[in-house]
Amino acid sequence: MSDSGTSQQADEAAGSAGGSPPRGRDLRTALMQPDGWRLERRLEVRPTYELYATVIALAITAVLIGLLVLLVGVSPFDAFSSLYEGAFGDRESALETLVQSTPLILTGLAAAVAFRAGVWNIGGQGQFIAGAIGTFFVYDMFPGLPAPLLIVAMLVGAAVFGAIWATVASVLLVRYNTNEILTTVMLNFVIDYFLSWLLSGVWQASNTPYSQTERMAENTYLPRFFDDSRLHWGFAIALIAAAFVHFMMRRTSMGFEFRAIGVNKRAASYKGINTAVSIVAVMAVSGALAGLAGAGELLGLHHRINFEFGEQQIGFTGIIIALVARLHPVGVIAVAIAFAGLVNGATQMQISTGIPAALVTVIEGVALVLVLVAAVACRYRLRRGAVHADESAEGSE
């Protein structure tokens, strides 16, 4: 597909550039001095290269953040060790990290699934809110249901509401060809204000001035694993969802179609895949996963929706997690736990070293920037020597 690299450059070098564009001064050509170092596009990028590149990027992130901490006047060793202590230092904090990672795994998967299919669902945040609304809607509609059935119904409600909210964007995309990046971003705000309206209107708890719902009945609480931790079944649901996503993408025809439209939409449609159906389906799956995250937070932790519900930006963080994990379901679990550990440990770090907890957001941003750059960089290699026409044959090294 994009083998261009070597052969075409060789053509240019040989002066037989029949119709190929003249050279300019972008980075690649600037580095391509006849005898100097030059960047060369790899014909094949092995998964291990991507892994190494990601690890290197994260290591550089750690160094940069260490320098930043030094700049603030704290020893990076103290900062990182208190961060680690707060995140994984003892049983209590380690379990709390898993609690925090639960919604992030689900929104991370939501983003990963959609991005794999080349559909830019930036609406995880809105679908997360939609899921919480769906959960409470089912709770509100069927007060008489016995607890186990009600919990299942609420989880389904969350998934359906998340999927519906994602479908708004995907239908606009396949019907009117509106850019899904822009519509999902807009829809995040729309549902935010819709929730605000619900909370100050029909769903507002009586006898309180706050914008919040009634506290949900105790039989709707997701069971907890241990007496001494808030870790709830939502975490298991998240892990099952990750396994489901992995299986779906690798082993089902639907997953194959999602990956196919992600690699090359036109080729996929020539092969007979109905790309419109696939796009709607993948957005629905993605929205359902984000919606489940909303249900987990509501039923496992908060038990009521209030105006702070969306403030942690779980959906947006999910996007970062998916990208740092290079869209891999297992990677999503690992990165989500790491990010949750950062958030969890930051409180400890702020108390014992005085470094603002906002450092976590900086870490997330720097890590993402570097991982993205690394992902591009590992598609190239640095070579020395003249460009030879016969190099087009080599692909493995």
Of 107 and 220, nearer to other proteins (C-beta) is: 107
> How many residues of this chain interact with other proteins, rule: CB under 8 A?
57
Does residue 105 touch other proteins according to CB under 8 A? no
Phi first, then psi, for residue 34 (nearest 5°) are -50, -45
Does residue 364 touch other proteins according to CB under 8 A? yes
Instruction: Give the per-residue contact string, 63-92, with other proteins (x = CB under 8 A; - = no).
Output: ---------x--------------------
The strand pair at 37-41 and 380-384 is best described as antiparallel
Q: Provide the Cα torsion 323, 326, 331, 335; round to 10°.
A: -30
Binding residue for other proteins, selected from 351, 358, 382, 386, defined by CB under 8 A: 358
Give yes or no for a contact between 290 and 127, defined as CB atoms under 8 angstroms apart: yes
Q: Provide the Cα torsion 98, 102, 104, 107; round to 10°.
A: 160
Least distance from other proteins to the Cβ atom of residue 300, Å: 26
Least distance from other proteins to the Cβ atom of residue 369, Å: 5
Q: Interacting stretch for other proteins, rule CB under 8 A, among 16-24, 87-95, 249-257, 295-303?
A: 16-24
Binding residue for other proteins, selected from 15, 18, 25, 228, defined by CB under 8 A: 25
Least distance from other proteins to the Cβ atom of residue 224, Å: 32
Give yes or no for a contact between 293 and 131, defined as CB atoms under 8 angstroms apart: yes
Angle in degrees, CA 315, 147, 130, rounded to 5: 20
Does residue 197 touch other proteins according to CB under 8 A? yes
Instruction: Give the per-residue contact string, 147-186, with other proteins (x = CB under 8 A; - = no).
Output: -------------------------x---xxxx-xxx-xx
Phi first, then psi, for residue 270 (nearest 5°) are -65, -30
- DSSP code of 223? P
Least distance from other proteins to the Cβ atom of residue 340, Å: 16
Least distance from other proteins to the Cβ atom of residue 307, Å: 11
Tell me which residue has tokens 């809110």.
129
Binding residue for other proteins, selected from 83, 158, 163, 187, defined by CB under 8 A: 187
Does residue 37 touch other proteins according to CB under 8 A? no
Distance CA 155, CA 165 (A): 16
What are residue 383's DSSP bridge partners? 38
Q: Interacting stretch for other proteins, rule CB under 8 A, among 89-97, 148-156, 281-289, 361-369?
A: 361-369
Of 44 and 228, nearer to other proteins (C-beta) is: 44
3-state class (DSSP) for residue 91? helix
Does residue 202 touch other proteins according to CB under 8 A? no
Does residue 385 touch other proteins according to CB under 8 A? no
Give yes or no for a contact between 106 and 290, defined as CB atoms under 8 angstroms apart: yes
Output the CA–CA distances (angstroms, integers) from residue 160 to 164, 298, 313, in the order listed: 6, 16, 21
The secondary structure element, H or E, covering residue 384 is strand 380-384
Of 18 and 24, nearer to other proteins (C-beta) is: 24
Q: Interacting stretch for other proteins, rule CB under 8 A, among 2-10, 150-158, 220-228, 239-247?
A: 2-10
Does residue 210 touch other proteins according to CB under 8 A? no
Binding to other proteins, residues 300-329 (CB under 8 A):
316, 319-320, 323
Least distance from other proteins to the Cβ atom of residue 26, Å: 5
Distance CA 295, CA 129 (A): 9
DSSP codes of every residue in 94-145: HHHHHHHHHHHHHHHHHHHHHHHTT----THHHHHHHHHHHHHHHHHH-TTS
Q: Interacting stretch for other proteins, rule CB under 8 A, among 26-34, 141-149, 246-254, 382-390?
A: 26-34
Determine how many CB atoms are found less than 10 A away from the CB of residue 328: 20
Of 2 and 48, nearer to other proteins (C-beta) is: 2
DSSP codes of every residue in 255-304: HHHHHHHHH-HHHHHHTT--HHHHHHHHHHHHHHHHHHHHHHHIIIIISS
Give yes or no for a contact between 76 and 66, defined as CB atoms under 8 angstroms apart: yes
- Would you tell me which residues interact with other proteins (CB under 8 A)? 2, 4, 8, 20-22, 24-29, 72, 120, 122, 172, 176-179, 181-183, 185-187, 189-190, 192-194, 196-197, 200-201, 316, 319-320, 323, 355-356, 358-366, 368-369, 372-373, 375-377
